[in-house]
Amino acid sequence: MAAGAAEARLAAAPDAAAVGRLLHRFNTEYDEPAPAPEWIGERACELIAAGATEVLLAGGGPDGILVVRYQPSIWSDGDEAYIAELYVVPEARRRGLGSALMEAALARCRERRCDHVFLGTDEGDADAHRLYERFGFSNRTGAELTYVYEREL
Nearer CB in complex with a second copy: 5/148: 148
Q: Which of 128, 108, 98 is nearest to 54 (CA)?
A: 108
Nearer CB in complex with a second copy: 18/114: 114
Is the bond into 33 cis (omega within 30 degrees of 0)? Answer: no
95 binds a second copy (CB under 8 A): no
Residues 123-152 that bind a second copy (CB under 8 A): 123-124, 129, 132-133, 135-139, 141, 144-152
For residue 62, the 8-state DSSP code is T
Name every residue whose Cβ is closer than 8 Å to that of residue 101 and which is 6 or more positions away in sequence.
Answer: 8, 56, 58, 64, 65, 66, 86, 88
111 binds a second copy (CB under 8 A): no
Span of 6-14, 56-64, 70-78, 89-97 interacting with a second copy by CB under 8 A: 70-78
